[in-house]
Amino acid sequence: MTDRRDTDDANTEIDDTPTIACSRCDREWDLDYELDELHAGNGALEQFALDHRQHTGHFPDDVTPWLAECRRCPGHEAFLTERPARRWAETHARHTRHRVSLQHASIDETTTVESPTQ
Ligand SMILES: [Zn+2]
Ligand SMILES: [Zn+2]
């Protein structure tokens, strides 16, 4: 590693190992594992959040997931960004003709994705 020195450059976000907290678990983690073992790089936080949900059933703090929920199938899928959520909704609708609703804290109303009628 090169030695670290303070610069005026504002773009120094990955300076130290990032950490993430979960108030439900009452714990805090650093993202060493995601960075070193999984080589997740800039996606380390996303990777942690998805893994955390997979193993605990909830997201850590400061993560607002996109939820894609099929009206017909049980359960729902959660994503960290809109693009994969929308893609999941569109492909699910395309293959099953089910209607899928997309929800996120940033949008007031639920978006419904339907199979395009041809
Ligand atoms: Zn947790
Ligand atoms: Zn479905």
The model carries a pTM of: 0.64
**Domain limits, the chain:** 19-56, 66-113
| Nearest bound ligand to the CA of residue 92 | 2
DSSP string covering 39-69, please? --GGGHHHHHHHHHHHHHSS--TT---EEEE
H/E element, 33: helix 32-36
Q: What is the pLDDT of residues 88-102, one digit of tens each?
A: 999 999 999 999 999
Cα-to-centroid distance, 72 and ligand 2 (Å): 5
Given a contact cutoff of 8 angstroms between Cβ atoms, the answer to whether 30 and 43 are in contact is: no
Q: What is the pLDDT of residues 34-86, one digit of tens each?
A: 999 989 888 888 889 989 998 998 999 988 889 999 999 987 888 888 999 99
User: How far is residue 32 CA from its own chain's centroid?
Assistant: 18
d(CA 107, CA 66): 10
Cα-to-centroid distance, 56 and ligand 2 (Å): 24
